[in-house]
Amino acid sequence: RERLNKGDSVLTRDLSELLPGSGPPDEETLEEIETRLLMADVGVSATQQIMDGLHERLDRKALSDREQLLAGLEAEIRAILDPVDAPLEPVHEGDGPFVILVVGVNGSGKTTTIGKLARRYRDEGRSVMLAAGDTFRAAAVEQLQTWGERNDVPVIAHATGADSAAVAHDAVQSASSRGVDVLLIDTAGRLHTQSGLMDELRKVKRVITRVMPDAPHEVLLVLDGSTGQNAIAQAREFNQAVTLTGLAVTKLDGSAKGGVLLAVARELGVPVRFIGIGESAEDLDVFRSEDFSRALIS
Ligand code: GDP
């Protein structure tokens, strides 16, 4: 949790100088908070919602000191994040694996997140299989295979340039016949064109459903949390193409830009399942609104 915001939160750093110890905040203080929310990538509409909430609290005299202001801010943040706090339970009732289709642009941390998830689920005692569906990039297939070998997790892969839908198809069949609990399917993050990518993802999803009618059980978008408002545009586009059911927001360590989660939550309303807080295998936390909201302001 400490690594979520190294040092002080951008939202509240040095704010104590601005905040009166007692007495309600003045207009200047509220404006400063608004500016900071926008600078922390919270986005216009989530910022508006938070500021409306704070003004409403001020009107009913519920912000009469610094403590109340910070508590009010935290409560307004939670009002946005609580609805997207819904941890993933990767259990498939009945035959066949719980299928997680993982999508996201190159560089978002997709492969790293798949590795972290595989490790997490394996440590929980589940059997895991990976599918190297990014057939466009040889390095992506190799990266997944290396990871699988090192961690004793089977990886289904075809040759570079193969049809990624065929990889997904084989993986679902293989995972089903081997009694695997969780199947994580990687996908391409860039093709020659963006519309080509979305078409391919739609096709991969369709083929999975053809093999296993209730799958995929999760369509997880991996988003680079340090890309700010750009992340929202990406999320919207993926959501349109393959209907997301969950998000993993990475790189929330280092830069204190966790505010983008508020923008995403407000815009998409898709559950945030995980947050990435570093490069190593254990640096993936289950998203919890309460902890995250507190970390944002403390
Ligand atoms: P992909 O192209 O989407 O598969 O991205 P990768 O998984 O290869 O990750 C791209 C880079 O981001 C790598 O250098 C990762 O180590 C790094 N990365 C991934 N997740 C995190 C994270 O949560 N925090 C930090 N600091 N780096 C991350």
Classify residue 47 as exposed, middle or buried by CB count within 10 Å of its CB (0-12, 13-18, 19+).
buried
Taking the model in full, what pTM does it have?
0.93
Locate 287 and state its tokens: 């998203």
CA 233, 235, 236: angle at the middle one, nearest 5?
65
116 annotated to bind ligand: no
Nearest atom in ligand 1 to the alpha carbon of residue 222 is 3
Q: Where are the alpha helices (DSSP H) in the chain?
A: 15-18, 27-39, 44-59, 66-81, 110-123, 138-151, 164-177, 194-211, 229-242, 260-268, 289-297
- Nearest protein CA to atom 26 of ligand 1, as residue: 278
- The amino acid sitting at 73 is L
pLDDT value at position 7? 47
Q: Does any ligand 1 atom lie closer than 6 A to the CB of residue 277? A: yes
Q: Ligand 1 pocket: which of 112, 130, 143, 280 to mutate (most atoms <8 Å of CB)?
A: 112
Nearest atom in ligand 1 to the alpha carbon of residue 140 is 4
Mean pLDDT of 85-90: 98
pLDDT value at position 62? 93
Short-list 257, 266, 249, 256, CA closest to 76: 266
| Beta carbons within 8 Å of 161's beta carbon, 6+ residues apart | 135, 136
User: Is residue 2 predicted with pLDDT exceeding 90?
Assistant: no
Locate 126 and state its tokens: 């589940």
Mean pLDDT of 258-265: 90
Q: Which residue has the higher pLDDT, 182 or 159?
A: 182
- Nearest protein CA to atom 5 of ligand 1, as residue: 109
CA gap 206, 124 in Å, rounded: 30
User: Is residue 17 predicted with pLDDT exceeding 70?
Assistant: no
Q: Mean pLDDT over all residues of the chain?
A: 91
CA gap 55, 150 in Å, rounded: 54
253 annotated to bind ligand: yes
Distance (angstroms) between ligand 1 centre and the Cα of 77 equals 27
CA gap 134, 66 in Å, rounded: 51
Do 220 and 246 contact (CB within 8 A), yes or no?
Answer: yes
Q: How far apart are the first and last CA of the chain?
A: 11
Do 243 and 204 contact (CB within 8 A), yes or no?
Answer: no
Do 267 and 45 contact (CB within 8 A), yes or no?
Answer: yes
Short-list 141, 203, 195, CA closest to 168: 203
Distance (angstroms) between ligand 1 centre and the Cα of 114 equals 10
Q: Does any ligand 1 atom lie closer than 6 A to the CB of residue 110? A: yes
Q: In this predicted structure, which of 3-17, 56-70, 173-187 has the lowest mean pLDDT?
A: 3-17
Chain centre to alpha carbon of residue 216: 17
106 annotated to bind ligand: yes
Over residues 175-193, the pLDDT tens digits come to: 999 999 999 999 999 877 7
